[in-house]
């Protein structure tokens, strides 16, 4: 019963959408297990670019059942807009399934996120969230005041739960000077969501378990990345869910022993959007090169991403906490043209040399990176189709990453298109890509 988890090894935006797309031919279902419409997965198919926030990117393949698992917070307005957008572009969404246990991200969650971030930003603080209401929605889940997708189909229960929620939310919103929500209006809209999505709302855990029991290959698609994980990231500058591979268990409905392989997605350099430490951040022409050549602008918010050199310290940590089996290295082509490429091998913190990822954000903010330098290459590598075609300097850089990361690199991407992909060997990822569903 092969189950593959795809997760980001950095601060998100590593190119997980492309990884899902490459593996898609051999899988029967793709499951989103955490996050919400804060995510933005870009998939390029020929001339067409698809930007998806909630629907798993597997939807682009007619044989795949796209599943939104219990660990996701679902904004029904976004979901319905996305379904309509896909239908308008000729993509069938009738196989989509949404867990009845997934929490509904309500308009008051969005309003609270915006109000709180706005207030914090005016004093120079804040997390720099996507303002999609993610934190408040997961907060309600933990407070047990949330409303779940299945509740949208139960009018009496929905009215009671919404009334209870609004009693608190409207008071809180008022403290920020934000408008209150009217129960009747919101109830009417929520019931409408229920009637429009009833066909998709179901027990997705049972679906996933049946698929695995039948020997089908199921892909669990993480959003964001390890360093934005609520428990393992740079808290408090994190998202409110668990993007790490373990999140696929809690948020996807499987047990740890059902995970067959974990594919870690790594970008050839670092980026981060929003506030929080990025020890290798560059404020020079190289940082400008990475952001501009790499088109590092958020899919969801359009915000400019901060960029810097690849950092081995959190990479080793990410490989460990995700128990990564293989790595897909993305955007190697963006480094072409840089005379020198640096990688961070450790930090100097308060005069001490540190090579383990500090969990304390204050220490991370004081961390001075220690770099090792590699020669760059001038050749455009976006047309390379095998590792042998890469310049020797690029191969050396890849080898150095593999040696330090603690997991093999099996796939290298040199451009956004499906064809711009190099298989490093005939290993596990390659066999899944060929559509056999086999995972060695």
List active site positions: 13, 41
Closer to ligand IMP by Cβ: residue 11 or 397 = 11
Establish if 127 lies at the interface with ligand IMP (CB under 6 A).
yes
226 or 325, CB closer to ligand IMP? 226
Degrees, nearest 5: CA angle 359-363-407: 45
**Contacts with ligand IMP, 254-283, as mask; x by CB under 6 A:** -------------------xx---------
CB closer to ligand IMP out of 158 and 263: 263
> Applying CB under 6 A, which part among 15-23, 157-165, 173-181, 222-230 lies near ligand IMP?
222-230
Instruction: Give the nearer residue to ligand IMP in terms of CB position, either 25 or 299.
Output: 299
Residue 229 lies near ligand IMP (rule: CB under 6 A) = no
Burial label for 75, CB within 10 Å (0-12, 13-18, 19+), is buried
CB 96 within 8 A of CB 29: no
Distance CA 299, CA 39 (A): 8
134 vs 327, beta carbon nearer ligand IMP: 134
Q: Count the neighbouring beta carbons within 10 Å of the beta carbon of residue 114.
A: 17
12 is a site residue for ligand IMP (CB under 6 A): yes
Binding-site member from 10, 38, 242, 258 for ligand IMP (CB under 6 A): 38
- When asked if residue 230 is in the footprint of ligand IMP (CB under 6 A), the reply is no
Shortest distance (Å) from residue 188 CB to ligand IMP: 27
For the CA atoms of 108, 109, 115, 120, what is the dihedral angle to 10 degrees? 160
Residue linked to tokens 């906490």: 321
The least CB distance from residue 66 to ligand IMP, in Å, is: 18
**Residue 274 per-residue DSSP state:** S
Per-residue CA distances from 319 to 9, 22, 104, 288 (Å): 7, 21, 32, 28
Q: How far is the CB of 303 from ligand IMP (least distance, A)?
A: 7
Question: By three-state DSSP, how is residue 336 classified?
Answer: coil
Cβ atoms 197, 152 nearer than 8 A: yes
Distance of CA 268 to the CA centre of its chain: 17
The answer to whether residue 135 forms part of the interface with ligand IMP (CB under 6 A) is yes
Q: Is 39 in the site for ligand IMP (CB under 6 A)?
A: yes
Q: Are 82 and 54 in contact (CB under 8 A)?
A: yes
| CA–CA gap between residue 80 and residue 104 (Å, rounded) | 13
Q: Is 73 in the site for ligand IMP (CB under 6 A)?
A: no
How many C-beta neighbours within 10 Å does residue 231 have? 13
Contacts of 412 (CB under 8 A, 6+ apart): 328, 329, 330, 332, 387, 390, 398, 421, 422, 424
Least distance to ligand IMP, CB of residue 139, Å: 11
Tokens of 111: 């309003």
By beta-carbon distance, which residue lies closest to ligand IMP?
274
Total residues interacting with ligand IMP, rule: CB under 6 A: 20
Query: Taking CB under 6 A as the rule, does residue 296 contact ligand IMP?
Result: no
- State yes or no: cis peptide before 20, omega within 30 of 0: no
Question: Which alpha helices (H) appear in 144-254, and where do they start and end?
Answer: 155-175, 183-197, 204-213, 247-252
By CB under 6 A, is residue 128 in contact with ligand IMP?
A: yes
Report if residue 130 touches ligand IMP, rule: CB under 6 A.
yes
User: Which stretch, 147-155, 189-197, 232-240, 308-316, contacts ligand IMP (CB under 6 A)?
Assistant: 232-240
Any contact of residue 247 with ligand IMP (CB under 6 A)?
Answer: no
Measured distance between the N- and C-terminal CA atoms of the chain, rounded to whole angstroms: 12
Give least dist CB 203 to ligand IMP, A: 27
Smallest separation, CB 196 to ligand IMP (Å): 25
Residues that bind ligand IMP (CB under 6 A): 12-13, 38-40, 127-130, 132, 134-135, 223-224, 228, 237, 239-240, 273-274
């Amino acid at each position: 019963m092969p189950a593959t988890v795809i997760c980001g090894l950095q601060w998100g935006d590593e190119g997980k959408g492309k990884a899902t797309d490459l593996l898609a031919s051999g899988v029967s279902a793709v499951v989103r297990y955490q996050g919400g419409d804060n995510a933005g997965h870009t998939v390029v198919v020929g001339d067409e670019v698809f930007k998806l926030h909630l629907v798993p990117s597997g939807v682009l393949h007619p044989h795949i059942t796209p599943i939104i698992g219990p660990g996701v917070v679902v904004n029904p307005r976004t979901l319905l807009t996305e379904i309509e957008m896909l239908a308008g572009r000729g993509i069938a969404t009738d196989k989509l399934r949404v867990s009845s246990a997934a929490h509904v991200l309500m308009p008051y969650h969005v309003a609270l996120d915006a109000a709180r971030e706005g207030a914090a930003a005016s004093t120079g603080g804040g997390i720099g969230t996507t303002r999609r209401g993610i934190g408040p929605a997961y907060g309600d889940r933990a407070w047990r005041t949330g409303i779940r997708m299945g509740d949208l189909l139960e009018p009496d229960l929905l009215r009671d739960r919404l009334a209870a929620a609004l009693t608190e939310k409207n008071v809180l919103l008022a403290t920020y000077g934000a408008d209150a929500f009217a129960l009747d209006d919101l109830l009417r809209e929520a019931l409408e969501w229920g009637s429009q999505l009833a066909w998709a709302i179901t027990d997705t855990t049972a679906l996933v378990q049946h698929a695995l029991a039948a020997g089908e290959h199921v892909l669990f698609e993480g959003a964001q990345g390890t360093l934005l994980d609520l428990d393992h990231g740079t808290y408090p500058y994190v998202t409110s869910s668990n993007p790490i591979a373990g999140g696929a268990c809690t948020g996807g409905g499987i047990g740890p022993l059902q995970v067959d392989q974990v594919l870690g997605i790594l970008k050839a350099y670092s980026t981060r959007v929003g506030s929080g430490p990025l020890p290798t951040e560059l404020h020079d022409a190289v940082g400008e090169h990475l952001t501009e050549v790499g088109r590092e602008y958020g899919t969801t918010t359009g915000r400019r991403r901060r960029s810097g050199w690849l950092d081995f310290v959190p990479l080793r940590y990410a490989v460990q906490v995700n128990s990564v089996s293989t790595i897909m290295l993305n955007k190697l082509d963006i480094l072409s043209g840089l005379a020198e490429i640096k990688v961070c091998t450790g930090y100097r913190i308060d005069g001490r040399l540190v090579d383990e990822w500090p969990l304390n954000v204050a220490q991370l903010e004081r961390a001075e990176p220690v770099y090792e330098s590699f020669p760059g290459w001038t050749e455009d590598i976006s047309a390379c189709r095998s590792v042998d075609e890469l310049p020797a300097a690029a191969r050396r850089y890849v080898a150095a990453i593999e040696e330090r990361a603690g997991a093999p690199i099996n796939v290298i991407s040199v451009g956004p298109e499906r064809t711009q992909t190099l298989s490093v060997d005939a290993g596990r990822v390659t066999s899944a890509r060929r559509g056999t569903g086999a995972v060695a």
